[in-house]
Amino acid sequence: MYKVNVSDIEQDGIVNFKFNGDINELENCHIEAELEFKSMGDFIEASGHIYGNLNLECDRCLKKYIHKLDFEINEMFAKKALLEDYGAELELTDGQFITDLNGAEDIDVYDLLYQSVILALPNKKVCGINCNEGFFVSEQKLETHDTRMDIFKNIKIERK
Ligand SMILES: [Zn+2]
């Protein structure tokens, strides 16, 4: 259903794709996306904007909260199986990924969106600033011991 045909992209040069729906693998994840698929020889560049929201669980207090999504994607697809010498020919910008289509006729847009959302999620999921403050002390304890910090060991902050 959410697929873009590779030969359509080759024919038209650019194919635009709009998505407005749920990513069922993620909790209450609803996104809208405007994508552009551009033919570039052996490659197809997918770029665009994704916004929406989903439910995440706070790492600290375990409460569910709504996380907003609003980010750009830029990904390359290689039509054939990636050869080693492709790497030398192709300059990739920071954070860009190459997905091997391996001769497939379609690009799975749903999967592209799903993977992009997963990659865009924060490493540390925190429900809000208040939660952040409340657990600041215990988080410090979890950090690995850094000898450069030893100088601060004997400093006590007195609350008045
Ligand atoms: Zn929290």
Nearest alpha carbon to residue 70 among 109, 26, 116: 116
Give me the phi and psi of 154, to 5 degrees please.
-95, 5
Report yes or no on whether pTM surpasses 0.95.
no
Cα–ligand 1 centroid distance for 126 (angstroms): 5
Decide if pLDDT at 152 tops 70. no
Alpha carbon distances (Å) from 76 to 8, 122, 149:
17, 23, 43
Q: How far is the CA of 1 from the centre of ligand 1 (A)?
A: 37
Tell me how far the alpha carbon of residue 122 lies from the centroid of ligand 1, in angstroms.
Answer: 14
Q: What is the pLDDT of residues 30-70, one digit of tens each?
A: 999 999 999 999 899 999 999 999 999 999 899 999 999 99
- In this predicted model, what pLDDT tens digit does every residue of 116-139 receive, in sequence order? 999 999 999 999 888 865 545 444
